[in-house]
Structures are given as C-alpha cells and as structure tokens.
Structure 1
Amino acid sequence: MITIQRILFPTDFSRCANQAFVQAVQLAKRHSAELHVLHAYVPYEDHTSLLTVVPAAPEVRPGATVLTPPMLQVLEQQQAQSLRITQNVARDISIGPVIIDYAREHEVELIVMGTHGRRGIGHLLLGSVAEEIVRFASCPVFTIRETMEPHRAGAFRKILVPVDFSKHSEQAVRYAKELAILYGAELQVLHVVEEQLHPALYATGRSSVFEFMPEIETTSVREIERMLMESGGPEVQAEIHIREGRAARDIVKFAESHASDLIVIATHGLTGIEHLLLGSVAEKIVRFSRVPVFTVKPFGTSLLKGPEVHHDASAGPHS
C-alpha cells in the first residue's frame, strides 16, 4: 500500500510546471496529503538566451502568494480547494539544493515537478534541475515533461517498469504493482539486454546477442516472474518483454511504441561508478521520456507501507 502525507511541488511558473501541478493536485487529493508549493529562484539569473524565448516569471518575494491564476484554476477544476496547501519562496545560488533541502527539512515524501521548464538551451549545457533532484533527493520523484497535449491527471492505464534484476529494480516492481492497483492499470515489465557484441563477431553473420546466447531470453523471463512473486504486494496483470539494445534509449522507445502512460524506475541499480561518469539510466529517461517518470530510491523515504516492505534507510544518495 502507498501512503503519502506531504508532497512538494516546485514551480518556476512555466507552462511545463503548470502541467505538472495537475498531477501534484490529483495525488494530494487522492491521498489527503499536504501540498507544499515552492518557488525557488536564483537572484539576477538571466533565464534568456539568443536561442530561446521564455515568458517572464511573476515578481515573487519571500512571504508572497505563490499560487497563480492558472494554478487556482486547476484547484477549481479538480474540486480541490480544500487541500492543505503551504506556499513558500526561497532563493539561493542554485535551485536544486534549495529544493532538496526543503524536502528534507519538511519531511516531504514525494516531489512532483516538471521537466524542460525555464532552462532552455541551458539544459543541454548544465543538466536540468529535475535530473539533479532525481539524483540527490532522498524521496521518490515524479517528473512530468511538458507536452502539446497535457497528460490527464491520474490517467495511467499502462505502467512500464524496467528491471535490471538488482534489489533496487525489485523495489521498483513493488511500487509499480501498488500504483497499478491505485490507478487500475496493467504492468509492462521490461528487461533490456545490453548490446555487447565484439565487432569481430559480426563476421559470423550473427548480429544479435540472442543468436549467440539464446537462453538469455528464457532465463530473463523466469527471473522477472520470480521478481513479480517475491517483490510482495498485490497481484496485478503483467506483460513481460525482453529486448536487446541500450537501456535508456530502448526504454524510452518502448514506452512510446507500446502506449505506456507512466514509467516506474529505480535509481542506483547496477551502474556503479558509471553513474558518476555518465549519469544513471533513470536520469537519462527523465531527460528524454515524453511519458511521466516515477523514480524510486533504495534509501531515504519510502511510500510503501506493510510488513513485506524492506527499505534501506541507512543508505544515502552517494552510495
């Protein structure tokens, strides 16, 4: 069972953030959770560039009201005017640490935020705030990318959970099962077998790892079936898919081609030191996925409640 008492919604007042606010309100209403709305900003930061044009943010000072007319309209549309909402403004030299510190100090259990907001071309140069939050926050993070047609609140019918057979991905399976029950969705469990053929092997006329090791697919299916049974939680309808490719790239492609509505993925899986050098698969998916992404952690705050839940609270974001 998933329980949430406090949700943090950071906003930069962009269209992207407004789309994410719809999901934040829906979750807060569903769980009777307190919703913290935070505007974090860097004084005198120039949000424009020669290659981007962004709308000006409203003038907001500490102690000011953060809820804008579009946000008030969302509350009215979802009949959520009675939600407990805390509004805050914070400034610092960097936005990411402000959000992470606020979440820790206020014992936030879930962060809901948009991706591709006001950073413009800076996203390509510096990395997005959302990816920074996914990497360092000690609670689950729900990211929503801006789209031409906004995602309907809570309209999740197919939930994709990629697995790498680590303990962390087993935890993601448990979250995905609980979310599937919550939204009446079915699961799509995906394992991507990384392409690792040596170029010399192409001379044999074989180009797939499945041709050299045909047992991989059968073994992977059995392992996923084991994870579904041993991860605990409710029984849900699940499809099992095995693909060959590159994890981040092909997870995003799968979600688009199989009409996935939500991706649930664990951070800190089997990437080890590669995470520090190249960024984790989860962060790459947050960057490129058009589908909302729910990332879960092996440390810190857990939304899962029940006797079968095992969560390593002693681990940390740098483990």
Structure 2
Amino acid sequence: MYPALPGENLLYSTMSQFKTAMLGLDLSEMDALLLKKTAAVADVLGIERLYLIHVAADLELPEELRSQYPDLLAPVDEGIASTLELAAAEAFSDRKVAVEVLVKEGNKVETVLRWAKIKDVDLLISGRKDLLPGSGSLSKSLAEKAPCSVLFLTQKEGALAPKHILMPMDFSSHSKRTWESAQVLLRTEQARLTGLHLYDVPVGYSKTGKSREEFASIMEGHARKAFERFLEKNKLPTFDCLFEAKEEGKSGQQILRIAEAHGSDLILMGSRGRSGSAAVLLGSTAEKLVHANYKIPMLILKQKGENMGFLEALFRL
C-alpha cells in the first residue's frame, strides 16, 4: 500500500480529467507509433474515449480522376476513416477505450481546436516529428491555443510509459498542481520525479564586484531556500530538484539538454493560461520548450477551459 499523500483526492481527479482525449493523425508512417504510444499510456491517463482526427485541405477527388477511375466509388474521407479505424483496432485491441474517427477538412489548427471544443476534449495528443518529414507548427499552435492539456509524443522508439519525469518549476501554485498530477504517474508506473528550477542571475551582478559564477552561487542558495519554503507551505514531501542558472533566451534548449543528460523520458509542465480572455499566454519557458523539443515526450497541463475566450473570438460560437 502507498502512504496517503497531501491532496490525494485532487491527484486522482486531476488525471481523471483525461477521460476524453483527441489524437491528431496525418496518414504518415508516424501514425502507427502514435497509436501504439497512446494505447500504452491510456490506462494511466484514464482515457475512456479517444477521438482520432485527420484534417485534410481537400477531401474531394478531382473530376478527371473520377472519370478515369470510376471504380473509386467510396469518398476519400470514408477511405481515410476506414484506414484509421483498422489501425486503431489493432493498437487498442486489448484496451477498454472507445475509439471514434473524425475526418474533416479545413485549416488544421482551427479545425482541431473547433472539434476539441465540440467534443469537450480533456486532452489533446499530438506527434512531434524529427527525422520524419512534417512541420511542428501544428504542435506549437495547439500548445498555445488549446483549451485543455496537451501531450506531445515523439517519434523516438523506447519505453512507452515514463520512468523518469522531469518537472520544470517556479514554486508557484502552478508548480503545486503539476506536482499533484505527477503523483498519479509515479504511483501507477513506478516512475521517479525530478524537479528543475532555472534561476535568474541579475544583469547588474558585476556592480557587486563579484563574478557571474560567484553571484550565480548566491542566487542558487536563494533558489534552494525558495524550494524548501514551497515544500513547507504546501506540505509536500521532499524530492530531488536540480538548480541551474538560466541561459537567457535559451531556456527551452537548456531544459531539453538537462532532460537528456538525466535520462528523463517525460517533461511535465504547467501552463500559465488565462481563462476568460482572448489572449494566449502559455508561459515563455513552456513556449521555448515546445519550440525546441522534438526528442522527449512532454505533457503541458492546463486547467480545462483556458483560452476559451480565444476560441469564442476565433469561431464566434
């Protein structure tokens, strides 16, 4: 038996918010890997219903092709849906997850966001490509504008469930909520958690007569004390936390480098989205990380409904 943890009821309600998920597929060779990885984490994330969505610019066959190949009776969208349904049936053969395929046309970002709202999705899942051809612009836009949490899966083969979670943190209420969510993954998958805090070194450090390294040491001491206060204030058990001076303008690459150096296979971050506003505010560090990270799976936690004002303004719904 595991000992009780602070806010235990909240821990499980946090992950239970992922009952309904949506996975974007593009008919590339990466689809099979995304389905496999999603199936592997479906239980721990509490996914009960999964929408597979494919968005194409034009689903109609050109008239000359219809005339030349009259045997192509099935509409293109039905053919795509059939392909995805077969792939999903294979990936989720031993999972109790209800899968539904959506094939739509239009702008990819706007269409995915629209259907995420219509289906009241709790979690958006997207692939990040590295060696395989494809743009990461969709993933970046989803991270900024999604009204729910977003999970980015990579094309890298390896462990399907996380074993070492890296949690960048600033010791705010966002960090506490992220820690609470991490506990479900830790319990279910026997993973370990490492915090990461990037502290600032004031640009005017030279006026103190100290070198940057000397003043960085002072700032690290203050950061460690802030970590202790964070644990005490929220009545949390201690856990490992790394401290590094922030590399100005490169925090995304810095977090990725640290995650790779410590063998992390999931980066867990809380967003700073504002509900009830048309503004999109993911948080500068998270934005930089989404831009830089094609290598390690990443889960960005949002309170459901964030950026709904943006969607209302965008779609006039």
TM-score by length of 2: 0.73
1:134 to 143, 147, 154: 143
Which residue number in structure 1 is paired with residue 297 of structure 2? 292
Matched letter for residue 54 of structure 2: H
Distance 1:158 1:226, change over 3 A: farther
Which residue number in structure 1 is paired with residue 112 of structure 2? 99
Give, in whole Å, the separation in 2 of the partners of 1:253 and 1:32: 31
Distance 1:18 1:204, change over 3 A: farther
Distance 1:165 1:32, change over 3 A: closer
Local SS of the residue matching 2:263: coil
Query: Structure 2 matches for 1:297-312, cutoff 5 A?
Result: 297=302, 299-300=303-304
Give, in whole Å, the separation in 1 of the partners of 2:131 and 2:138: 10
Shift of 1:91: 0.8
Q: 1:180·1:236 contact (CA, 8 Å) conserved in 2?
A: no
More helix by share: 2
Give, in whole Å, the separation in 1 of the partners of 2:286 and 2:130: 19
Give, in whole Å, the separation in 2 of the partners of 1:107 and 1:279: 24
- The reply to whether residue 37 of structure 1 matches residue 44 of structure 2 is no
Which residue number in structure 1 is paired with residue 4 of structure 2? none
- 1:16-47: per-residue Cα shift (whole Å, max 9, x none)? 33322223222334425111111112228xxx
Which residue number in structure 1 is paired with residue 84 of structure 2? 67
- 1:138-195: per-residue Cα shift (whole Å, max 9, x none)? 1111101222xx13322x1111100123332332222223322232111110101135
Which residue number in structure 1 is paired with residue 271 of structure 2? 267
- The reply to whether residue 218 of structure 1 matches residue 221 of structure 2 is yes
Give, in whole Å, the separation in 1 of the partners of 2:97 and 2:308: 33
Q: 1:160·1:187 contact (CA, 8 Å) conserved in 2?
A: yes
Which residue number in structure 2 is paired with residue 255 of structure 1? 259
CA RMSD in angstroms comes to 3.5
Structure 2: segments with no counterpart, 5+ residues: 1-11, 60-74, 274-278, 312-317
Distance 1:136 1:204, change over 3 A: same
Give, in whole Å, the separation in 1 of the partners of 2:126 and 2:78: 21
- The reply to whether residue 16 of structure 1 matches residue 17 of structure 2 is no
Which residue number in structure 1 is paired with residue 124 of structure 2? 111
Structure 1: segments with no counterpart, 5+ residues: 45-58, 270-274, 302-312
- Identity fraction in percent: 22
- 1:182-215: per-residue Cα shift (whole Å, max 9, x none)? 32111110101135435x939967233xx12644
Count, aligned residues: 272
TM-score by length of 1: 0.72
- The reply to whether residue 178 of structure 1 matches residue 184 of structure 2 is yes
Matched letter for residue 189 of structure 2: Y
Larger Rg: 2
Local SS of the residue matching 1:164: coil
Give, in whole Å, the separation in 2 of the partners of 1:223 and 1:24: 36
Deviates more, 1:275-284 or 1:28-37: 275-284
Which residue number in structure 2 is paired with residue 53 of structure 1? none
